[in-house]
Each structure stands twice: as structure tokens, then as C-alpha cells.
Amino acid sequence: MSGVRSEGWTVRPSFAPNGPTAPVTLLMDEAGFTQLAGNPAVAWQTPWSEVTGLRLVRSRAGVNVIAVVGGVLYQWRRIEPMSRGQLDEVRAVLVAHGARELSRGRRNTAVAIVALVTLASFGGYFGGLLNQRGTSSVVTALESLNLNSRDVAGTWSSSTLTSSSLLATLLPAPGQVQYIDPATTSTAAPPASPFALAGINFQRCVNVANIDDRLFGLAGTAPRYQVSSPVYYSSDVGGVQVESTAQYYDSPPSVALDVAEMSRPSFGRCFAEAVGDELIGANTGVTPQLSNGHDFATPTFVKGWSRGGEVAVSLPSLQVTKAHLVVVVEAAGHYEVTIFALVANLARARSTIVTLSNELLARVTSTNAISA
């Protein structure tokens, strides 16, 4: 495949503090891509192996390329008209390296996602994430807590591609066990990052200081292992996608401390707002500081701890409008499991989310799971 040179872009955020964001030229070939930003141009070279969550988004507003590089989500927006030939060249290179294309035909049938804001919540931005398996019994038990195809039988489909979900930028790749080395020093999120801004909104909402906050602040404890389910999606109930992520902590008291903070009366709506802030901020570059969340009641049929919240979100540039993000967190023993859902019609999807939440809560609180 020959190299492609594409001019007329902007990038958000900049690749360096106070660095140039325009004009940007993208150079792409088999080895990777190079960004030339500013005038005079400053070059940043990135091999494809370091690029994840790659998406090409086409809408009436123009063309966008979204990717995660070095744990940071970047968005390149085309500011000059793009011919069909130019678009085809860029598309060919990106798709060849795993990009998911979202066209203007993808309307708000809804991206409903059950997912944890990982690398973000429950302990902050963690350094040293490694794809390696741990103690087999612990990992097997952890994997068994997540959503599976038996939970969503019928008209549902699934995907394990990291580019299949809007929340791919916030989640570990489906099915990959993430091992977090406790000896590794955690890295604080940049102050203007979507995560940091979402954390400020969350802490204000639940009235907790950053130093005492275990979800977005300095008091959090990293899990030892984390693994996410595939993304499951269906056009039923107005359109829904769901995904779950499960975490194993070495110390049950760490989970108990998380639960103590998450048991605050305002947690459900505040956490949903913060996740919505991060989702929108990561995908658009603008963190909205949402304040329209509500608690999401999950009547439980088993004994266990569970809290939920929901918030209306809109990402017009990605063809998602008038959607609802639902977040349900469950915990017991060594484990925390989180479900996030983006749905088009909350009233129609509510019972489905409650049912799935109960399925996972039963697993989290089972004797086998807790003692693994």
C-alpha cells in the first residue's frame, strides 16, 4: 500500500502542552502515521501498533478521524473540502489498520453500552496495564461475572472489536485480561482532560474532596485484574448496546471503601453525569459538565449491593442524539462489576437493563465468585 498525504485538518487536543492544533497534515503508510502540525510544522510519528479505537466518522458536518494514542483520545477534523478520491484514499489506509467507519447513515438507533469508565474510575489513571493472565482460578471467576451470549439470547448480536463501541476509548479491549502491577506508579490525568473535568463535576456533585475521592480522586485503589465482555447490541426496545466490565481487588476492604463512597444518596445520578461528561469529552473534545442525571432504580431479586444512574447525552457529530447513558455498579467481596448502557428509548429499555443487572448481581454475590 502506497503512502497517503492528507492536508487540511485540525487536531484536539494538541500532542504537546500548548502545542499547535492547526494546520495539520496527516501522512499514512504501512508503518504508521505522522502528524505535521503548525507552521513551521512539528512532526509526531506513531506506529499503528500504538493506535487503538480507530474510527473514521462521516457526517454532514464533515470528516473526522478518532483514535487513542498513548492513552489519550485524539480527534482530527477535516476543515477543507474532501473529494471522493481523497476520502477513499484515507479510508483505505485506516480500514486496513482496523478502523471502524461510521457513516451518515448510522442514526441514533443507539449505542447502548454497559461499561465501566476504566482507566478512569475506581482508582484513577493507572500506569502499567499489561495484557497478561494471572492466577487461573481468579481470572476464570472474574471472566464468569461478565455478560455473555446466554444473557442476551434471541435478536442480539455481539462484537469483540475495540472499534465497535463509542466507549471503546474508555474500556479495555473485550476479552483481554488487564493486569495492573501494584508496584507501578499511577499517572495523574492531565488537568484539562475529559477524565479530570468529569472528576471535578463528580466531586462537586457528591460533595467529596479530591483527596478523599476513590473513583476520580487520589484515594482510589487499583484493581489487580480487569476484563470486559463483548459489546452486545440489538435493534429491539428502540436500539440498545450493552457491555460489562469486571474488576478483581486483592483486598475486600478496598471494595468496601468504594461501596461506602458509592452508597452516598447522590452517587447514581452524579456518576452517570461524570461518565457522560467523559464520553462526550473524549469523543468531541468538549466536556459539557452535565447536570441532568437521575438515579436509575434496579430492583434486585438477590441480596447484594447495586446502584445505578442515567443521563441524557448527545453527540451529533457521531450521529447519536437524544440517547440515554445508563450506568449500574455492583460489588461484593473482591469484585466490582459495572454495566453502562446507551439506549435510544429509556422507557422501553429499562426492563432489559434491570434484568441484565440482576443476572450479574447474582454472579457477583455467589459463594463461588466471592471465594475465588
Please check the confidence at residue 320 and state whether its pLDDT lies above 90: no
Last residue of a domain, which of 85, 102, 119?
A: 102
Are 264 and 304 members of one domain? yes
Kindly report the CATH number assigned to the domain that includes residue 211. Answer: 3.40.1000
Q: Which three cell numbers stand for residue 83?
A: 473529494
Residue-level pLDDT at 68: 76
Kindly report the CATH number assigned to the domain that includes residue 78. Answer: 2.30.29.30
Structural domain boundaries enclosing 273: 129-371
Residue-level pLDDT at 194: 84
User: Looking at the 3D structure of the chain, how many domains does it have?
Assistant: 2
Last residue of a domain, which of 67, 102, 137?
A: 102
Rounded to whole angstroms, the Cα distance separating 7 from 258 reads: 47
Note the Cα 263 to chain centre separation in Å: 23
* Over residues 251-269, mean pLDDT: 94
pLDDT tens sequence across 90-142: 999 998 988 877 654 333 332 322 223 333 333 333 323 334 444 578 888 89
Confidence of residue 257 (pLDDT cuts 50, 70, 90): very high
pLDDT tens sequence across 125-134: 332 333 444 4
Question: What is the percent of the chain where pLDDT is above 70?
Answer: 79
Residue-level pLDDT at 6: 93
Please check the confidence at residue 371 and state whether its pLDDT lies above 70: no
Rounded to whole angstroms, the Cα distance separating 93 from 33 reads: 10
Residue-level pLDDT at 173: 73
Sequence-ordered list of residues with C-beta below 8 angstroms from that of 32, at least 6 positions apart, any chain: 45, 46, 47, 48, 49, 50, 51
Confidence of residue 315 (pLDDT cuts 50, 70, 90): confident
pLDDT tens sequence across 206-247: 999 999 999 988 888 888 888 888 888 888 887 888 889 999
Are 361 and 308 members of one domain? yes
Please check the confidence at residue 335 and state whether its pLDDT lies above 80: yes
CA neighbor of 361 nearest in space, from 319, 309, 304, 282 = 304
CA neighbor of 145 nearest in space, from 349, 346, 351, 338 = 338
Are 164 and 270 members of one domain? yes
The label of the residue with cell 476484563 reads 227
Are 258 and 344 members of one domain? yes
> In this structure, is residue 111 part of a structural domain?
no
Most confident among 122-131, 144-153, 304-313 (mean pLDDT):
304-313
> In this structure, is residue 112 part of a structural domain?
no
* Over residues 282-298, mean pLDDT: 88
**What does R_g of the chain's alpha carbons equal in angstroms?**
20
Of the candidate ranges 14-18, 119-123, 322-326, the one whose mean pLDDT is the lowest: 119-123
Sequence-ordered list of residues with C-beta below 8 angstroms from that of 311, at least 6 positions apart, any chain: 269, 272, 273, 275, 276, 290, 292, 293, 294, 324, 325
> How many residues appear in the chain?
372
Asked if residue 158 lies in contact with residue 105, where contact means CB atoms within 8 angstroms, the answer is no
